[in-house]
Structure 1
Amino acid sequence: MWNTLDKPRIVVVGGGIVGLCVAWHLAWRGLKPIVIEARKPHAAYTGNAGAISHGSVAPLAMPGVLRQVPKMLTDREGALHIPVRYWLRAMPWLARFVASARPAQVEAAAGAMASLLFGALERHREILAEEDALDLIRQEGQLYVYRSPEQMAKDEPALALRRRHGQRMEVLDRAALAALEPEVSDAYTAALFLPDHGSSVNPARFARVVADGVRRMGGEIRKGEVRALRTEGRRVTGVVTDAGDVDADRVVLAAGAWSARLLAPLGIKVPLETQRGYHVMLPDAGVRIGRVISPYDRKVFISPMEEGLRVAGTVEFGGLDAPPNEARAQLLLKDLRAVFPEVRTEGATTWMGHRPCLPDSLPVMGPVKAWDGLWCAFGHGHLGLTGSAPTGALVASALAGERPNFDFAPFGVERFR
């Protein structure tokens, strides 16, 4: 631990949920971080599905993924779509994505994610208990629904990974599914119930609570656009913002999908892609569910929240600067009706956000070997909320000199050389 007189000045670049959790744990240790929040348009942390899924250790690229690439390029209504205008730009990322689906890499990635996400729900409660906001967490499990046992069998490679890493799952037939969620369409005849999983009932309020905790414990959150990381020799000494320079002994880069732009001038190339995700929020859906539900054939999450029913999902490549594609958002209503045919959609609002995704499905975490004073905490993809609290605890612990029992090597930015 740091002595009172030699506490480092730590700047966290990024005010999303990952950056805020890093800052919260630093502030809890008395290190009083400065968070630079850029108010980036379409940041992912407020519009996610709210799922806290510590068992989601299977990477997106599983063996056999190469067969799915043609559909990604041609099916406009597919769960993952790459428009023609983006094909050339997406190809290097896709090549890495397919290469990461080799069995040995899949096993290694799953093991690394299991080590990161272990106890994720407890890590979230740790923060929310301190902030007197445990009402933000719902622990009623999560439900994955299938049209048939045969469809469930197609999911077996990912399910086997979950089992090997200790995930508790209960197989339900139609009767048991209906007893748990009676409004799910009769078309779904089998399900997996994950009783240990949970969710946030309001991800935006969740982030505000964490930010308030940072301030309460002496940290600072500033609005500003970080234009560059400032360096001297091979050391990062602060950040350059639109409001002037900010000195730092340590900089934690947690800028989500925008992180690669800040690393590039340092000679660090990261294959970070924004997978643009959408949600539709229904204030009065006429459907009551008790937990997050995900239909295997639709690749979406349907979540009960304080403000209504949210259906979130769909993946679209398109870069950071293109406007939202309303047609992608409207597909979510089609997905929702497949599960709940009688749902009411009046008053629906839509949203798009940028998920920072890496081809091997692992975030970038820990110190950067080539640059003293620079740490990373970005690239959590579809698991930003789930991974935020454990990432914050681990990175802050290491920055404070506590030597956490965790191997940062699989998450290092150096793996992309």
Structure 2
Amino acid sequence: MENASNGSRIVVVGGGIVGLCVAWHLARRGLRPLVLDARRPHAASAGNAGAISHGSVAPLAMPGVLRQVPQMLTDPAGALHIPAGYWLRAMPWLLRFVASARRDRVEAAATALASLLFGAPERHREILAAEGALDLIRQEGQMYLYRDDAQMAKDAASLELRRRHGLRMEVLDRAALAALEPEVSPAYTRAVFLPDHGSCVNPARMVQVVAAGIRRMGGEIREAEVRALRIEGRRVTGVVTDAGEVAADRVVLAAGAWSARLLAPLGIKVPLETQRGYHVMLPDAGVKLGRIVAPADRKVFITPMEEGLRVAGSVEFAGLDAPPNEARARLLLGDLRAVFPNVRTEGGTTWMGHRPCLPDSVPVIGPLKAWDGLWCAFGHGHLGLTGSAPTGAVVAAALAGEKPNFDFSPFSAERFG
């Protein structure tokens, strides 16, 4: 059993962007965290769309979603795909997802997400300014594209919910759209411009920058696969890894889509599902793009990055262990061509990653009531990058004995019963 030299240690399980942001804020407070990173090939941190979307408080399950699901599932090229062999496993999660679309639950989820995300841009800049890497953030807004007014009307409930929670948006006609993004296909005649949203130009480099900051401030990052939580009575006292046991005064579980596996032996069942996402990265797409654009009919994000143009999206339910489905990645090129008909697709590389998704779109953050010494920070779904910095700030502050102005109760694991 390995013990910390000072008899007290905070171990963060998971070296993705959420776990690293928790550890960065702990290290800044002099708490010298140990991050255990399994180096999983399909973690989502490096391959996401790069969106920093603090106004995205509308959960995925909105009123009327049940009517949309059959159409999405029967379209083999649609944004949502569940292989036949995974239907039975996915069904309990899908039933919870549909139940989360009740208006009262949608309002509660939006309020919770707003409380977490409202300061996300400032929280990201706080970390990157300290690390001399503010160039990672592009602050040119985001644009949602629509073919016509009728298509935009389908998003009215989601847009209104975001507006009520403070998101600033501008509705653009074709001329205003083209003034900002002249290369977008003329098939798109309307847009919603979100001037306060931003993006990360290289999510993989952001992970490296935050990790370097942790080490600079005295924290440690170690490659090890955590296989179990170590318990004594009703207290978590460490972790069991593939390299032995590590003692801990407190453990923060930030293992993304793998988190539920570690909680299950403690009798805590969290309906965490991986929504496998894909991207294609094009080093020389021949498209000049000033900001993220997201065609509403395609459900993808198209992001200009340091290394080229990235188109990311798709939702695939197939579990944590199935190999990537290359056909799902190739579908993204069709989505891209719909927006930029003349795009060059030679030399593109593909990627698949696991988004840790909960039915109500609200992550699990904070201490577990029944187990002393165990904190959670996982389940951010499609908003992992956005939510990472604010999650790190509030969790670290609470662990340090401060009193952050934040209510953890809507984010509890116990809300699932």
Q: What TM-score do you get using the length of structure 1 for normalisation?
A: 0.98
Match in the other structure for 1:86: 86
Q: Secondary structure at the match of 2:45?
A: helix
Match in the other structure for 1:257: 257
After superposition, give the CA deviation of every residue in 1:185-237 in whole Å (9 maximum; x if it has no partner).
Answer: 00000001100011000000000000000000000001001010000000000
Which deviates more, 65-74 or 384-393? 65-74
Work out the CA distance in 1 between the residues paired with 2:369 and 2:337: 49
Work out the CA distance in 2 between the residues paired with 1:73 and 1:334: 18
Match in the other structure for 2:176: 176
After superposition, give the CA deviation of every residue in 1:143-173 in whole Å (9 maximum; x if it has no partner).
Answer: 0010001211110000010110000001100
Work out the CA distance in 2 between the residues paired with 1:296 and 1:69: 16
Counting only pairs closer than 5 Å after superposition, residues 374-393 of structure 1 correspond to structure 2 as 374-393=374-393
Work out the CA distance in 2 between the residues paired with 1:16 and 1:37: 8
Work out the CA distance in 1 between the residues paired with 2:372 and 2:25: 21
Counting only pairs closer than 5 Å after superposition, residues 109-188 of structure 1 correspond to structure 2 as 109-188=109-188
Work out the CA distance in 2 between the residues paired with 1:280 and 1:155: 26
Q: Secondary structure at the match of 2:178?
A: helix
Shift of 1:119: 1.2
Work out the CA distance in 1 between the residues paired with 2:292 and 2:322: 30
**Is 1:221 paired with 2:221?**
yes
Shift of 1:8: 4.0
Retained in 2: the 8 A contact 1:8–1:31?
no
Work out the CA distance in 1 between the residues paired with 2:125 and 2:254: 22
Shift of 1:76: 1.7
Shift of 1:70: 1.7
Work out the CA distance in 1 between the residues paired with 2:193 and 2:68: 27
After superposition, give the CA deviation of every residue in 1:276-305 in whole Å (9 maximum; x if it has no partner).
Answer: 000000000000100000000000000000
After superposition, give the CA deviation of every residue in 1:306-346 in whole Å (9 maximum; x if it has no partner).
Answer: 00000000110000000000110001000000000000000
Match in the other structure for 1:367: 367
Shift of 1:80: 1.1
Which amino acid is the alignment partner of residue 385 of structure 2?
L
Shift of 1:68: 2.0
**Is 1:266 paired with 2:266?**
yes
After superposition, give the CA deviation of every residue in 1:39-78 in whole Å (9 maximum; x if it has no partner).
Answer: 1120000000000000000000000111122234322211
Match in the other structure for 1:410: 410
Which amino acid is the alignment partner of residue 416 of structure 2?
F
Work out the CA distance in 1 between the residues paired with 2:8 and 2:149: 55
Q: Secondary structure at the match of 1:60?
A: coil
Shift of 1:6: 8.3
Retained in 2: the 8 A contact 1:170–1:194?
yes
Work out the CA distance in 2 between the residues paired with 1:302 and 1:60: 19
Retained in 2: the 8 A contact 1:57–1:114?
yes
Match in the other structure for 2:200: 200
Which amino acid is the alignment partner of residue 134 of structure 1?
L
After superposition, give the CA deviation of every residue in 1:361-405 in whole Å (9 maximum; x if it has no partner).
Answer: 000000000000000000000000000000000100011111111
Which amino acid is the alignment partner of residue 337 of structure 1?
R
Match in the other structure for 2:96: 96
Q: Secondary structure at the match of 2:263?
A: helix
Match in the other structure for 1:358: 358
After superposition, give the CA deviation of every residue in 1:228-275 in whole Å (9 maximum; x if it has no partner).
Answer: 000000000000001111100100000000000000000000100000
**Is 1:340 paired with 2:340?**
yes
Work out the CA distance in 1 between the residues paired with 2:71 and 2:146: 21
Q: Secondary structure at the match of 2:376?
A: strand
Work out the CA distance in 2 between the residues paired with 1:283 and 1:25: 34
Which amino acid is the alignment partner of residue 404 of structure 2?
P
Q: Secondary structure at the match of 2:97?
A: helix
Work out the CA distance in 1 between the residues paired with 2:175 and 2:72: 35
**Is 1:400 paired with 2:400?**
yes
Work out the CA distance in 2 between the residues paired with 1:345 and 1:130: 37
After superposition, give the CA deviation of every residue in 1:71-98 in whole Å (9 maximum; x if it has no partner).
Answer: 3432221111111111100000000000
Q: Secondary structure at the match of 1:86?
A: helix
Work out the CA distance in 2 between the residues paired with 1:327 and 1:160: 35
Retained in 2: the 8 A contact 1:18–1:388?
yes
Work out the CA distance in 1 between the residues paired with 2:218 and 2:160: 45
Work out the CA distance in 2 between the residues paired with 1:16 and 1:132: 20
Q: What TM-score do you get using the length of structure 2 for normalisation?
A: 0.98
Q: Secondary structure at the match of 1:46?
A: coil
Shift of 1:415: 0.4
Gaps of 5+ in 2: none
Q: Secondary structure at the match of 1:354?
A: strand
User: Cα gap change, 1:159/1:7 in structure 2, threshold over 3 Å: closer, same or farther?
Assistant: farther
Work out the CA distance in 1 between the residues paired with 2:234 and 2:224: 25
Work out the CA distance in 1 between the residues paired with 2:105 and 2:63: 10
Which amino acid is the alignment partner of residue 250 of structure 1?
R
Match in the other structure for 1:237: 237
Work out the CA distance in 2 between the residues paired with 1:40 and 1:398: 28
Match in the other structure for 1:284: 284
Q: Secondary structure at the match of 2:55?
A: coil
Match in the other structure for 1:42: 42
Shift of 1:118: 0.9
Number of equivalences = 413
Q: Secondary structure at the match of 2:94?
A: helix
Match in the other structure for 1:302: 302
Q: Secondary structure at the match of 1:44?
A: coil
Retained in 2: the 8 A contact 1:7–1:31?
no
Which amino acid is the alignment partner of residue 45 of structure 2?
Y
Q: Secondary structure at the match of 2:407?
A: coil
